[in-house]
Structure 1
């Protein structure tokens, strides 16, 4: 699903743009509650001097669509992405190569496009 695959680079690139553009950039690929969750995390990271680096590789395992709702199961590779010091660029965290993500998507009633509504990270391996 395009909305799911587009969510990751957009959410990684947005913190590198002016803060007043974040809402619009993310609203193109996310709806509530994920939209607020992502924006809150970005604001929190900025307040403590953190930013993002790198990209994740999406590896969708399954997609189930029921009406205006969809579930995506992903075993993404986040081993080349994480958090970094915003001032120096020094890497603080790094993701794992096999991270299970369960995403719920909803069809946005305002424009009919699919958007990420919730992300769940189970913490186990895939």
Structure 2
């Protein structure tokens, strides 16, 4: 029974670390949007890896070039975490209704950028050699989700 309890505690800590890394990803993208272009990769490299890191860098640089900044912030509602030894999948019924992109000059929301109140996201994370979880893909499903 003691070994099972120990394994359960490790699993709970690991899931907590995954959720923390996933949740921190969104704040980090907001920081990257405010940073000089030469610092974007350094900020995002702590949060994402692989081709998804490259995708996010391109997105941030594009938003900056178009004069856009983060507006509001999404509220993460993790509904499930599937955990493997070095990979994880996070299901999020995110409320992004108070998040989007704004014009950097006026700070006004670009209306079509506002998110949905029940954004159905699945994030894939991988554990790096430095023992940090990073997003390697993020998929938004068309069907809305329901929080538990």
- SS of 2:96's partner is coil
Runs of 4+ in structure 1 displaced over 2 angstroms? none
Unaligned runs of 5+ in 2: 1-18
1:45 pairs with one of 40, 48, 63: 63
Q: Tell me the equivalent position of 1:115.
A: 134
Point out the structure with the larger strand share: 1
- How many equivalent residue pairs? 125
Shift in Å at residue 105 of structure 1? Answer: 0.2
Point out the structure with the larger helix share: 2
- SS of 2:92's partner is strand
CA contact (8 A) 2:33 2:63 kept: no
Q: Deviations over 1:90-115 (max 9, x none)?
A: 21021111101100000112x12111
CA contact (8 A) 2:83 2:89 kept: yes
Q: Tell me the equivalent position of 2:123.
A: 103
Unaligned runs of 5+ in 1: none
> So what's the TM-score if we normalise by structure 1?
0.93
Q: Deviations over 1:20-58 (max 9, x none)?
A: 221111111111122111111111112222222111111
> So what's the TM-score if we normalise by structure 2?
0.80
**C-alpha RMSD of matched pairs (Å):** 1.1
Instruction: State the distance in 2 between where 1:48 and 1:14 align.
Output: 15
Instruction: State the distance in 1 between where 2:63 and 2:142 align.
Output: 21
Q: Tell me the equivalent position of 2:74.
A: 56
